[in-house]
Chains A and B, each alone.
Chain A
Amino acid sequence: MVELTMVAALNTALRDALAGDPRTLVFGEDVGELGGVFRVTEGLQSEFGRERVFNTPIAEAGIAGICVGLAMAGWRPIAEMQFEGFSYPSLDQVISHLAKYRERTRGRVGVPAVIRIPSFGGIKGKEHHGESPETYYVHTAGLKVVVPSSPLDAYRLLRLSIDDPDPVIFLEPKSRYWSKETGEPTLDGPGIGRARTVRDGGSCAVIAYGAMVTRCIEAAEVLSAEGVEVSVLDLRSLVPLDVEAIGEAVRATGRAVVVHEAPLTLGMGAEIVARIVEEAFDHLEAPIARVTGPDVPYPPASLEHRYLPSVERISTAVRKVVSY
């Protein structure tokens, strides 16, 4: 049993993937000797060599675009975007090619690439360092979108993403990079597309992903002291979305609160609520609440605690839903 941070777990996942498959490559800005600005790739270049782990020029479209060519040449690219706010130059390559290549080639050529993007807020970063880009990718057919919430699950999900035949956008919650979990990193457990229940409770289902999962557990503990027991569902992947698990969680409680950092409008909450209506309408005892960032650009560091869903906002929403 070891205690791992999410950074260490991701690093271990990359190391194991590089060791297990000689066709895997890791590249991006500063991922070489420095080990990436968050040190997720630390030590990999010295262990696996400069051919398989390499720095690229600052060229996000180029980083995403070479994934296509490398995949066509039989390689498995694992690319890093330095921050979500700097990943947007790559959107054309991701939307027009990575996502569509299998379809465009009538199933003949897939792009089994992983694009890792440190994402979301909560680290008191400068502007462009705290955004939630998931909806851009979720709305692009052909991609899978994965968001881990804990170190050991980050290990499992990254390994599974690397092995996946389709392109995976792997959004790493920066604010959880230094969180710790004790256990052995293993591939055993739910696959991509399966949510997991991280807390049981009969009063209300709270649905979240990424860093918000921990925040929801914190809120659940506050509520528990008041006699309100909520379940917490960690989605783990946004595409595929585990609609079955969402429906099951809501049917069990009749009440639901959806939590994410991204702005409200057309955030994942919109999709999740629509699915709940389709899957569990007859079981609903109360309107579904969404606790999200407001529809504003991500705020400066001194205000992010006002922007992000807090334990208090989540608890308040649950109380309202439960007492409806």
Chain B
Amino acid sequence: MTETASADVPTVRLVDHDGAVVGDVDVGLADDDLRELLRLMIRCRRLDRECWALQRQGELTVYPPFEGQEAAQVGSAFALGGEDFVFPSFRELAAAIVRGVDVVEYLQYHRGTWHGGPYDPIASRFAPICVPVATQIVHAVGWAMGAKLDGIPACSLAYFGDGSASEGDFHEAANMAAVFRAPVVLFCQNNGWAISVPSSEQYAAPIAARAAGYGFPGVRVDGNDVLAVFAVTKEAVERARAGDGPTLIEAMTYRVGSHSTADDASRYRNDAEVEAWRQRDPIDRYRTYLLGSGVIDHAFVRACDEEAAVWVAEIRAAVTALGEPPASEMFDHAYADPPATLRRQRRELLGDG
């Protein structure tokens, strides 16, 4: 299991694996918002599974599934305001959905029709999908420094994984965030595995505990408890906006699927571990809690499932219709104004320009 080091750092949990209340679940959300969290998580899982299928059918190139991490992403993204800016890694489709990113444009990345920023990052407040591990954390700090200079009450949030926290860029970002008191939330989804390397071979102390060394708060949260994730993120966002600087959040979750469609997790981990985490499923847990508390009934769940199926079918149709972009685009965006040497290469390759 991946919680071996958790004894050193308390884990915030409001609803336990069985849906029972174990903390203060009044996190400031109205019933409509509580229902929206479930509706979003159901949508996200449905689309995630569809993307896996699309890849297997040859409609996507490679796809990194996030099943099991819905609460970590939806709960955190839901805590952000419209001006806040997300800097994702490459597994944050669920967060993108919450932020209202154009999903069809987003999936151009996995379709192979464009690179990591196929949607409008500025309008979406969602930076390009970022594959070079941990590099996006530094960008988030830079954006936060800029927001602070402008005096706007907004923060950035960087998503990264347990493996990313081993990179030098994580350290440089965290230290700079502290020194400049940047309004940024460093959100680690600790899903237990960096491709095939378990967290026991990745670090020797809880990632959240590192925050103390930088001089800002660190909190570990049950990443499969959407209300707990929302609550700790909301607090971090408010601290940032109030000028109190960064927070490191370590959300303990689990990647139920493989690293990507090109990976086979059965080669390095056993079924018992995966099954144990399935028992902690974030959606089952939250649904049980909402049903028990009377916020929803079974008809609501059925409606969510049906609505998600329709939505995903629309996305499938739009994504599979995406064709190869014009080759001229290779040349169009390298520079604001392509130099003569590049225009010449374009003419030679494409016969135009």
Contact B117 A105 (CB under 8 A): yes
**Cβ-defined contact, A92 with B132, below 8 A:** yes
> Is A244 an interface position by the 8 A CB rule?
yes
Least CB distance from B246 to A in Å reads 13
**Of B142, B179, B332, B335, which contacts A68 at CB under 8 A?**
B142
A72 lies within 8 A of B85 (CB): yes
Q: Is A239 an interface residue (CB 8 A)?
A: yes
Complex CA–CA separation, A72 to B146 (angstroms)? 9
Kindly state the separation between the CA atoms of A179 and B245 in the bound complex, as whole angstroms. 45
Prevailing SS type, chain B contact patch: helix
B98-153 interface with A by 8 A CB criterion? 114-118, 120-122, 127-128, 132, 135, 138-147, 149-150
The residues of A that contact B87 with a CB separation of less than 8 Å are 69
User: In the complex the two chains form, what is the Cα distance from A108 to B329 in whole Å?
Assistant: 13
In the complex with contacts A101-B128, A141-B334, A89-B168 CB distance below 8 A: yes
A93 to B176, CA, bound (A): 15
The answer to whether A106 and B122 have CB atoms under 8 Å apart is no
Q: Are A59 and B139 in contact (CB under 8 A)?
A: no
List chain A residues, Cβ under 8 A from B143: 69-70, 72-73
Interface size class of A (residues with CB under 8 A): 35 or more
**A144: chain B residues within 8 A (beta carbon):** 335
Tally A-B pairs: CB < 8 A: 146
Q: Is the CB of A106 within 8 A of B329?
A: yes
Asked if residues B340 and A69 are in contact (CB atoms below 8 Å), the reply is: no
A166: interface (CB < 8 Å): yes
Residues of A within 8 A of B175 (CB): 57, 59, 62
Cβ of A110 under 8 Å from chain B: yes
Are A108 and B121 in contact, CB atoms less than 8 angstroms apart?
yes
User: In the assembled complex, how far is the CB of residue B152 from the closest CB belonging to chain A, in whole angstroms?
Assistant: 9
A319 at the interface (CB under 8 A from B): no
Report if A96 contacts B (CB, 8 A).
yes
Residues on B with C-beta less than 8 A from A142 are: 334-335
- A65 CB within 8 Å of chain B: yes
Name B residues whose Cβ lies closer than 8 Å to a Cβ of A.
85, 87, 114-118, 120-122, 127-128, 132, 135, 138-147, 149-150, 156, 168-169, 172-173, 175-176, 179, 329, 332-337, 339-342
New contact pairs (19) apart from A66-B139, A75-B149, A244-B340, CB-CB < 8 Å: A57-B179, A61-B172, A62-B138, A65-B139, A65-B142, A67-B142, A69-B138, A69-B140, A69-B146, A70-B142, A72-B127, A72-B142, A73-B85, A73-B147, A73-B150, A74-B150, A75-B146, A93-B169, A109-B128
The 9 lowest CB-CB distance pairs between A and B, nearest first, are A69-B142, A73-B146, A65-B138, A66-B142, A240-B339, A105-B117, A69-B143, A62-B172, A165-B336
